[in-house]
């Protein structure tokens, strides 16, 4: 079952479960569409895999299987001021 992480790992934008702009890779690294589009090749910064639209979990099922509340931030993607950077 997908964790449905609550934020973009790069810009820390909130990505609630119903957000259609969330992108994930096979390891569930989670980014907003804006950040994902800025990555080299549009691929995940962690594994290099493709990023796809995160599925929307129906709200009725969120009661039984809630989204994660664990926020993840990717240090490779952020400057001290929190803006996205050129990725290496």
Q: What's the longest Cα–Cα distance across the chain?
A: 41
Assess if residue 42 is contained within a domain.
Answer: yes
Task: Judge whether 85 lies within some domain.
Answer: no
Task: Answer yes or no: are the C-beta atoms of 54 and 2 closer than 8 Å.
Answer: yes
pLDDT at 78: 65
Check which CATH number belongs to the domain holding 40 and give it: 3.30.40
User: Is residue 5, in this structure, part of any structural domain at all?
Assistant: yes
Helix boundaries (H) for the chain: 33-38, 59-64
pLDDT tens-digit series, residues 41-84 = 999 999 999 999 999 999 999 999 999 999 999 888 865 334 44
Inside any domain, residue 30:
yes
Mean pLDDT value across the chain: 88
| 26 domain residue, yes or no | yes
Mean pLDDT throughout 8-28? Answer: 96
Residue numbers of the domain that contains 56: 1-72
Number of domains in the chain: 1
């Amino acid at each position: 079952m997908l964790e449905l992480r609550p934020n973009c790992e790069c810009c820390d934008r909130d990505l609630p479960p119903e957000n259609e702009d969330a992108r994930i890779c096979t390891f569930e690294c989670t980014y907003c569409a804006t950040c994902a589009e800025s990555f080299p090749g549009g691929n995940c910064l962690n594994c290099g895999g493709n990023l796809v639209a995160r599925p929307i979990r129906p709200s009725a099922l969120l009661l039984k299987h809630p989204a994660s509340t664990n926020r993840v931030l990717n240090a490779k993607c952020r400057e001290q001021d929190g803006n996205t950077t050129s990725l290496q």
